[in-house]
Amino acid sequence: MSSPLTPGIVPGRLPDETIVRNFVDYPPPLDAHEAAVAADRCYFCYDAPCITACPTSIDIPLFIRQIATDTADAAARTIWDQNILGGMCARVCPVEQLCEGACVREEAEGKPVEIGRLQRYATDHAMDNPHPYTRAAPTGRRIAVVGAGPAGLAAAHRLARYGHDVTIIDARPKAGGLNEYGIATYKTTRDFARREVEWLLSIGGITIDSGKALGRDISLEELRKGHDAVFLGMGLAGVNALRATGEAHEGVMDAVDFVAALRQAGDLGRVAIGRDVVVIGGGMTAVDAAVQSRLLGAENVTMVYRRSRGQMSASNHEQEHATSVGVKIITNAMPRAIHGDGAVNEVEFEYTIEGPGGLKGTGETFRLRADQVFKAIGQALEGVPEGLRLDGGKIAVDDNHRTSIAGVWAGGDCAVGGEDLTVTAVAHGRDAAEDIHRSLGTAG
């Protein structure tokens, strides 16, 4: 239902069948023939730049060759050996900036091998099979993992493979973190995030303790006393303030909350959306909020970013997808005030310019009509345990992801080097788990 202050924010702007059509798989999966044709385009480079460009260093030419030789299960194993969340990464990775951006075909023809879709083909093909990994003999060691997102899940799985017992502590009711709550609905349909978590946990040796937050329900010191090692992968729970007057107006909300609500909605036709939506920010969350606003039936959706389009953290591909569905993008403008009588009706912006002293306003302003505003200006670390050294607002770690506290590792978005990418978080969790295993003296 709409708020009494915001009568323009209503559910059901579009017929149910239109909403269903708008939220189908994007991009669609490859069938067997399409996968064979796509795999045939790979040069199988010996010194493949795509491997270097992948944060998890998947042997991409090998898994594509395995698809080409009709052994998709082997291809999936090649992927999972390096990236246990390869199925989700195939859906959400900015491949145009990573593996596909480095592809020799991209350099030569402007059309790379479809690595992301091939990765999805392989992992989707094999996920219905028995879990491909088995646990080593029990070591008797207990490890606590804080956060059931990509970093925590990757760490837990690798540690469980080595025979350690792992308990994952997570503040939310469902496991998955960013994959469950922070990805556009059309990118991960048919409840894939939940199914991937269930598949990962089927290795055994991993327990999830949901609804429990570090600092609120349990302390880091308690975890250290009860476990042989602790891995922190809780992500960034805080949301940066807009620092514009009127931010508390009805109709203004954090984009991450909007995206999460969509992911958990049983019926998208009941999700209320405004007629005139303004999204403030230039990252992936901003794009996801803007695109989905249009898909739900918002008539006018505008993304506004304070710097140039080339400085937006959202990839060119994602920006182009946004404009293709009717999102307007305005750059070099920052919010000054949100206007309205209790509920938002306009947002005032000031044009910006980059100078020697950094970004500054020009004094020239404009206003956009808005009955709903989504803030997507970045997230921050909350509830930092005492004694952890920070660097730039994130947990400081060394090359092995060790923190300033003995026996405590960290990775993903909460740690230095986190890039708001599932694939980077997976790499952090995997590598931290390897170092934890070595540090326990159980590495063979």
Could you tell me the CATH number of the domain that includes residue 52?
1.10.1060.10
Question: Is the domain of 305 the same as that of 389?
Answer: no
For residues 197-223, average pLDDT: 96
| Residue 291, domain extent | 16-23+240-375
- Give per-residue pLDDT as tens, 394-439: 999 999 999 999 999 999 999 999 988 999 999 999 999 999 999 9
Look at residue 235 and tell me whether its pLDDT is greater than 60.
yes
Alpha-carbon distance 340 to 369, whole Å?
Answer: 10
Closest CA to 147 of 425, 404, 439, 387: 425
Which residue bears the tokens 């995030």? 193
> Which of 375, 393, 421 marks a domain boundary?
375
pTM of the model: 0.95
Alpha-carbon distance 62 to 49, whole Å?
Answer: 13
Residue 134 lies in a domain: no
- Give per-residue pLDDT as tens, 98-151: 999 999 999 899 999 999 999 999 999 999 999 999 999 999 999 999 999 999
Question: Is the domain of 223 the same as that of 244?
Answer: no
Alpha-carbon distance 175 to 178, whole Å?
Answer: 9
Look at residue 382 and tell me whether its pLDDT is greater than 90.
no
Question: Is the domain of 86 the same as that of 168?
Answer: no
- Give per-residue pLDDT as tens, 261-298: 999 998 999 999 999 999 999 999 999 999 999 999 99
Residue 8 lies in a domain: no
Question: Is the domain of 342 the same as that of 267?
Answer: yes
Residue 131 lies in a domain: no
Look at residue 444 and tell me whether its pLDDT is greater than 80.
no
Number of domains into which the chain is organized:
3
Q: What is the pLDDT of residue 6?
A: 62
Question: Is the domain of 184 the same as that of 300?
Answer: no
Q: What is the pLDDT of residue 7?
A: 66
Side-chain-facing half-sphere of 135: CA atoms under 13 Å = 19
Side-chain-facing half-sphere of 319: CA atoms under 13 Å = 20
Question: Is the domain of 364 the same as that of 256?
Answer: yes
Could you tell me the CATH number of the domain that includes residue 229?
3.50.50.60
Residue 317 lies in a domain: yes
Question: Is the domain of 368 the same as that of 267?
Answer: yes
**φ and ψ of 178, to 5 deg:** -55, -40
> Which of 126, 152, 168 marks a domain boundary?
126
> Which of 375, 395, 416 marks a domain boundary?
375
- Give per-residue pLDDT as tens, 336-371: 999 999 899 999 999 999 988 889 999 999 999 999
Look at residue 443 and tell me whether its pLDDT is greater than 60.
no
The pLDDT > 90 percentage for the chain reads 89
Question: Is the domain of 233 the same as that of 250?
Answer: no
Question: Is the domain of 283 the same as that of 363?
Answer: yes
Which residue bears the tokens 């030419």? 61
Question: Is the domain of 173 the same as that of 65?
Answer: no
Give 241's pLDDT tier (boundaries 50, 70, 90). confident
Residue 132 lies in a domain: no
Which of the 8 DSSP states describes residue 262? H
Residue 205 lies in a domain: yes
Residue 444 lies in a domain: no
